[in-house]
């Protein structure tokens, strides 16, 4: 009942947000409304993204693939099946794959190597939408939630992690495409905004990076979906006029490691809810 009411208000807010695109004064009011609304539903039971957490939990323990096993033996870095705190240390190096992986890459790895699951359709449904449920978004919500209340602590101890971090930093400053944008164009200074949208400074360690990274995955009110960092960076590359980056590719992992390093020590409170 309560959840239905909340979903109703979300629908209304989405409508208000869209109308706001036309009349800017409305957007101002909408921003305040959403801020107030966000404070109001700090109660986890009222955040629709907890539906994703529940679905993710069910998927985690469902036997699938030609091996007909669940993901419960998947090693996210803390040992097979250990979920607590695993997300706080990702992306990280995995010896079995001899690669640095982010959460999505690791989940796909486990599906393929542990379950022998055909992932083409799962990757096709990587981003949820009307009538499309994303297994990966649900699983990330579930896994990330098991690190809620903890702090980011990525390790940069192996050679491959060091390379990933260095490349991530270079990608952050890499200008390209018809707008000459890099991530730093929009996220390289304190207190900037694009139109009325505040932009976090992600070019240095500190509070903006911590609060940003510590709040993903998140329920995006404007999209009526829960989203992960894969989607956020895909969307920023869209604004940069770059082609869509491949899902779960190393460039996205490199950027995610760089951003997570900037957010080191930051509190993880996920899934959150945002504009």
Question: What residues are annotated to the active site?
Answer: 236
Report, in Å, the least distance between residue 50 CB and another protein.
29
Q: With 0-12 CB in 10 A as exposed, 13-18 as middle and 19+ as buried, what is 79? A: exposed
Tokens linked to 250 = 């190393």
d(CA 24, CA 148): 35
DSSP SS3 for 126: coil
Q: Rounded to the nearest whole angstrom, what is the least distance from the CB of residue 194 to ligand HEC in the complex?
A: 5
- Asked whether the beta carbons of 60 and 142 are under 8 A apart, the reply is yes
Q: Does 174 bind another protein (CB under 8 A)?
A: yes
Q: Phi then psi for 225, rounded to 5 degrees?
A: -145, 155
Q: Which of 81, 245, 269, 274 binds another protein (CB under 8 A)?
A: 245
Q: With contact defined as beta carbons under 8 Å apart, do 229 and 126 qualify?
A: no
19 binds another protein (CB under 8 A): no
Is residue 62 helix, strand or coil? coil
Cβ neighbours for 73, distance < 8 A, ≥ 6 positions apart: 80, 81, 114
- What, of ligand HEC, another protein, none, does residue 2 touch, CB below 5 to 8 Å by kind? none
Distance CA 229, CA 250 (A): 13
For the bound state, the minimum distance from the C-beta of residue 25 to another protein, rounded and expressed in Å, comes to 7
- Closer residue to ligand HEC, CB minimum distance, 10 or 117: 10
- Listed in sequence order, the residues at least 6 apart from 132 whose beta carbon sits closer than 8 Å to its beta carbon are 125
User: Would you tell me how many other CB atoms lie within 10 Å of the CB of residue 102?
Assistant: 26
The verdict on 127 binding another protein (CB under 8 A) reads no
Q: Which stretch binds another protein (CB under 8 A): 34-42, 87-95, 96-104, 167-175?
A: 167-175
DSSP 79: S
d(CA 190, CA 186): 10
Q: Which of residues 25-84 bind another protein (CB under 8 A)?
A: 25, 27-28
Segment 183 to 242, residues that bind another protein, using CB under 8 A: 184-186, 191-197, 238-239, 241-242
Relative orientation angle of helices 159-172 and 250-262, to the nearest 10 degrees? 90
> Residue 275 binds which one of another protein, ligand HEC, none, with CB within 5 to 8 A depending on kind?
ligand HEC
Contact call for residue 2 and another protein (CB under 8 A) = no
Binding string, residues 251-270; x marks residues near another protein by CB under 8 A: xx-x----------------
Q: Does 181 bind another protein (CB under 8 A)?
A: yes
Select the residue interacting with another protein from 156, 211, 224, 267 (CB under 8 A): 156
Contacts with another protein by CB under 8 A lie at: 24-25, 27-28, 156, 162-163, 165-167, 169-171, 173-182, 184-186, 191-197, 238-239, 241-246, 249-252, 254
């Amino acid at each position: 009942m309560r959840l239905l009411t909340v979903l109703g208000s979300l629908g209304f807010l989405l409508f208000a947000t869209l109308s706001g695109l036309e009349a800017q004064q409305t957007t101002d009011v909408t921003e305040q409304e959403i801020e107030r609304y966000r404070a109001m539903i700090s109660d986890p039971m009222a955040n629709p993204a907890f539906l994703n957490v529940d679905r993710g939990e069910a998927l985690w323990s469902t036997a699938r693939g030609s091996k007909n096993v669940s993901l419960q033996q998947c090693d996210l870095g803390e040992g097979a099946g250990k979920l607590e705190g695993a997300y706080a240390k990702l992306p990280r190096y995995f010896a079995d794959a001899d690669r640095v992986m982010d959460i999505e890459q690791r989940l796909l790895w486990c599906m393929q190597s542990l379950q022998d699951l055909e992932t083409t359709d799962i990757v096709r449904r990587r981003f949820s939408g009307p009538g499309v449920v994303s297994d990966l978004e649900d699983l990330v919500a579930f896994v990330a939630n098991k690190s809620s209340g903890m702090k980011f602590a990525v390790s940069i101890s192996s050679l491959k992690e060091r390379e990933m971090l260095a490349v991530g930093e270079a990608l952050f400053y890499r200008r390209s495409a018809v707008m000459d944008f890099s991530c730093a164009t929009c996220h390289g200074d304190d207190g900037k905004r694009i139109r009325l949208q505040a932009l976090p400074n992600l070019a240095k360690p500190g509070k903006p990076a911590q609060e940003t990274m510590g709040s993903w995955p998140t329920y995006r009110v404007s999209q009526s979906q829960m989203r992960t960092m894969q989607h956020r960076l895909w969307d920023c590359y869209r604004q940069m006029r770059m082609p869509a980056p491949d899902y779960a590719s190393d460039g996205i992992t490199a950027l995610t490691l760089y951003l997570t390093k900037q957010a080191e020590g930051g509190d993880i409170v996920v899934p959150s809810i945002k504009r």
